Amino acid sequence: MNGATVRARLVALVCLAALLFSPPLVVVFDRSSTGSVSWLSLYLFAAWISTIALAAWLMERGQGDE
């Protein structure tokens, strides 16, 4: 991938992460649960790990083509 494509995909990833961690979306998962783990902590962990995984995948994929 060329530099412009990687940059555009990273900007899209930052926008996705901002959307995932925005308060209106986080409030949807902020409700009490009947189990021991709340939905909010599960959502935040899943959003965090997916953002990190996508960033690593994009950076590794961008370096392999050069």
**HEC-encoded secondary structure of 28-49:** HHCCCCCCCCCHHHHHHHHHHH
Q: How confident is the model over 45-59, as a mean pLDDT?
A: 94
Sign of CA dihedral 20, 24, 28, 30: positive
- Residue-range domain boundaries for the chain: 3-64
Residue corresponding to tokens 């649960």: 33
pLDDT number for residue 11:
94
Lowest mean pLDDT among 18-27, 32-41, 48-57: 32-41
> What share of the chain in percent tops pLDDT 70?
83
Tell me how far apart the alpha carbons of residues 10 and 24 are, in angstroms, rounded to a whole number.
23
pLDDT number for residue 14:
95
pTM of the shown model? 0.77
Q: How confident is the model over 24-39, as a mean pLDDT?
A: 80
Q: Is the pLDDT of residue 66 over 60?
A: no
